[in-house]
Each structure stands twice: as C-alpha cells, then as structure tokens.
C-alpha cells in the first residue's frame, strides 16, 4: 500500500517521486529473480545482463568488468561530473542456493498480496530494483545530477567482486555510499567486519602404540583453540561503544588419518568478527604467537616438531559513520519523507560497505527494503512491494539532497527516452 508523504517536499522532489511506480519496481525485481536460474556461463551473468539492459534504457553509462568467467561486476553512472560524484549505491548480483522447503519454484517470482516471493527478493534484488527506479526517476527530471550504482559478484561467498573492484578502480570523492542490503528501512550506521582465517598445524606421525615418537597436530590444535577462547574473553571485556565486542568462532576442524595413527596435520577454519580499526593480519599473527607459546608451555612429546602457520582467506572490513553526521540526518529525513519511521541501528553482521568506506573515504550507511533476519536466505523468501516503493523514494531523495549542485540549475529533461522511465500511477 502506498502511504501519503509525511514531510514537506520541494517542487522538483515531488516531480521525481511522482515518477516512481511500485509495480515497475516489482516487475524489475521479478526479472532479476528469474535471471538467477539461468544456465549462462556464470552464476551472476544473466542477472547482470538484465540489470545492464534496464540501466542503459534509462540513460546510464554501464561498464561490465568480468571478475571470473561469466561473473561480471557492473558500474552504472548517470549525471554530469561537473556536479561532483554524488551518491554511490552498492549492491550485489549473487544469491545463495535456494535449498529445500519452497512452496513453488524459487526462481519464478510470484505475488502474494503485497509480498513478492522468490530467491533474492530480499537479499538483494529488490533493493537493486529500488535503486534503479530511483536513478531512473531522478535522471529523467534532473539529468545532470550524478549517481552511481556498483553491483558486485560473489558477495555471498568470498567477495571476489568487491576485491576486484578495489584493485581496478581509483578512489572517487563520492558524497556518500548507500548499501542497499535489507534493513527493514532502518538506517544502519555501523557494522562489524568479517575475517576468515585458516590455521594449519603440522606435527609428526607415529604408531598410536608409541605416541611419544610422534608429535600430535591435533593436540597442538587445542592450543589454538585455547588461544581463541582466551582472546574472546579479552574482547568481551572491552566492547566497542557502538558495535559491541569483536568475536571469534571456530567453524571447522579436520585432522589425522586414523584412530591408530598420531596425527601429523590438523586444519582449523576460524571466523573473526572485527571492529573498524582492527587489522586481520595482525589478528592472525597474535593468534599464532599465543598458540605457539601455549604449545611450548605444554611440553608434550615432540612439541619441538610442531609447526603453526596461517593465512587470511577473506576480509570484509567494517565501518562506522557518526549517527549525528549530515549524511545520517539526510538519510533519516528521506526515509521519514517516504513514510517510514527513520530509525537508526548497527549491525553485528558484515557487508561490503566497509570496502567502499575504506577505498573511497565516503560516509557510508546500509539502508534497504526487506527483513534480513527472517527472510534473507530462507525458503519462500519475500519482500513487501510497498517497502520497495518506499525504498526507491528514499533513495531518490538521498541522491538529490546529497548532490553537490554546481553550475546552472538544470531544467526538466525532455531528452529522447525520458518517457520510458517509470512513472507513478498514483
């Protein structure tokens, strides 16, 4: 249901918002969901092609950059650089596997009242559709105003798309970064980072009947676990004032060759949720150093033959934006104007916004339609169409109110193709 706008609007803002149509957004989100089932060369290829076609149609300059076969990042820009770089919106084109428990085809979108059902509707093809609708509406009325959409591959796994973007893109002075991940339209001003570590313990094998002739990698792995637990207690005692404590979680342990053989190898994979100032390589070095000291102190048979090594397998940095900053006030006002509460919060989860905050130095928030906790990655995933509509309106207002409007005041566009931009039927 489309609710009345609750806060005052400037004349050009009203014209932009009148162009945004909920059914158009739902149709685009459904197209992106359906593309997820494609047998194209890569898992994101068809989704990105569908997104690129719509963006080109609204007048955007679209660049595709293949990160891996069939896995292209997308960067789409509208507006004039004479007015600065404007807002950058961030999204991702991949989804998790559908899994079991669906009542219909996960990749065949369907309406259920106000809900749009399908894999990725919440995380995050609905958010992408809302961003495109906002860009289309703003650009049709105000063609000089700059906006950018960055859409990466592989966010749900190893963030290879974001890492490729960082390696190939020069820093840009964006006014702000808005990550369109699902937040129930709550403005997320900070989130922890995520680091995946792999720790390998090596020892020496021997017959289990003579364990003193070997060096147990599994027993030495217990020293790594003890070091993790000790540091977890330290972190819990000194939480971040906004984000809370950084945390550890040991995900997997694998080692040994059989019951009657002293294990000469053991591998642990470890999740470490980080705070914005922490350096993953330093975290790993400290963990290995503590574990080595514990192995030496234990003085087990063959302890001098134990080796410890580790690697940082994945890094997704966190970020923090002051809740009293101009950007947060702008975003909250835009959300309220769109008819939502304008609440703020923080995430203990991670997202790719930290990459953008670090690389571009832009103040960053996460704001998007959909229920991350109860809908993302779930069977019969769905998103409210009215929330998609409200998100698009909020995005449009954020882009307009954040722009550095240099040069002459633009006039309403009469360029060819403007009529193809979505317009409200309200």
Instruction: Give one DSSP letter per residue of 159-203, joined into a string.
Output: -HHHHHHHHHS-----SEEEE----TT-EEEEE-EEEEEEEEEE-
**Residues 6+ away with beta carbon under 8 Å from 355:** 159, 162, 163, 165, 166, 316, 317
**What token pair was written down for 357?**
């905050």
DSSP 118: S
**What token pair was written down for 22?**
């909920």
Of 324, 316, 303, nearest to 352 by C-alpha is: 316
Question: 324 catalytic, yes or no?
Answer: no
Rounded to whole angstroms, the Cα distance separating 261 from 218 reads 11
Identified catalytic residue from 44, 94, 264, 390: 94
Contact (Cβ atoms closer than 8 angstroms) between residue 352 and residue 151: no
Of 15, 109, 26, 11, nearest to 391 by C-alpha is: 26
Count CA atoms closer than 13 A to 218's CA, side-chain side.
Answer: 13
Identified catalytic residue from 21, 44, 141, 155: 155
Q: What Å distances lie between residue 235 and 69, 219, 263, 273, CA to CA? A: 41, 25, 32, 11
Question: 387 catalytic, yes or no?
Answer: no
Rounded to whole angstroms, the Cα distance separating 132 from 25 reads 8
Three-state DSSP state, 280: helix
**What token pair was written down for 376?**
């993302």
Contact (Cβ atoms closer than 8 angstroms) between residue 318 and residue 276: yes
Rounded to whole angstroms, the Cα distance separating 74 from 320 reads 26
Rounded to whole angstroms, the Cα distance separating 94 from 120 reads 8
Give me the active site residues, please: 94, 155
């Amino acid at each position: 249901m489309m609710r009345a706008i609750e806060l005052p609007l400037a004349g050009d803002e009203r014209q932009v918002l009148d162009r945004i149509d909920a059914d158009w957004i739902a149709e685009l989100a459904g197209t992106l969901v359906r593309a997820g089932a494609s047998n194209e060369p890569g898992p994101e290829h068809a989704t990105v092609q569908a997104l690129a076609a719509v963006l080109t149609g609204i007048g955007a300059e679209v660049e595709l950059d293949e990160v891996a076969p069939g896995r292209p990042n997308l960067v789409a820009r509208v507006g004039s650089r004479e007015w600065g770089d404007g807002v950058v919106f961030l999204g991702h084109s991949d989804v998790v596997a559908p899994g079991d428990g669906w009542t219909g085809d996960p990749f065949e979108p369907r309406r259920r009242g106000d809900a749009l059902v399908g894999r990725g509707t919440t995380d995050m093809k609905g958010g992408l559709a809302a961003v495109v609708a906002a860009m289309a509406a703003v650009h049709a009325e105000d063609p000089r105003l700059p906006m950018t959409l960055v859409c990466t591959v592989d966010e749900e796994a190893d963030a290879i798309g974001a890492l490729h973007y960082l390696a190939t893109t020069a820093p840009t002075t964006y006014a702000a970064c808005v990550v369109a991940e699902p937040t129930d339209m709550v403005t997320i001003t900070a989130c922890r980072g995520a680091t995946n570590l792999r720790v390998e313990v090596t020892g020496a094998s021997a017959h289990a009947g003579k364990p003193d002739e070997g060096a147990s990698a599994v027993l030495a792995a217990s020293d790594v676990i003890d070091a993790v637990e000790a540091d977890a207690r330290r972190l819990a005692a000194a939480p971040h004032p906004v984000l809370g404590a950084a945390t550890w979680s040991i995900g997997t342990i694998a080692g040994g060759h059989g019951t009657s053989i002293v294990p000469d190898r053991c591998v642990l994979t470890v999740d470490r949720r980080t705070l914005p100032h922490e350096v993953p390589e330093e975290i790993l070095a400290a963990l290995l150093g503590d574990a080595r000291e514990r192995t030496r102190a234990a003085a087990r048979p063959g302890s001098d033959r134990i080796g410890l090594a580790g690697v940082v397998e994945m890094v997704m940095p966190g970020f923090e934006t002051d809740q009293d900053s101009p950007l947060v006030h702008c975003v909250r006002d835009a959300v309220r104007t769109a008819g939502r509460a304008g609440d703020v919060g923080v995430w203990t989860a991670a997202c790719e916004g930290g990459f953008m905050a670090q690389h571009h130095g832009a103040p960053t928030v996460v704001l998007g339609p959909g229920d991350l906790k109860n809908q993302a990655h779930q069977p019969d995933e769905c998103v409210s169409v009215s929330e998609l509509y409200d998100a698009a309106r909020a995005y449009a207002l954020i882009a307009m109110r954040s722009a550095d409007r240099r040069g002459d005041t633009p006039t309403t566009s009469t360029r060819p193709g403007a009529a193809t931009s979505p317009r409200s039927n309200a």
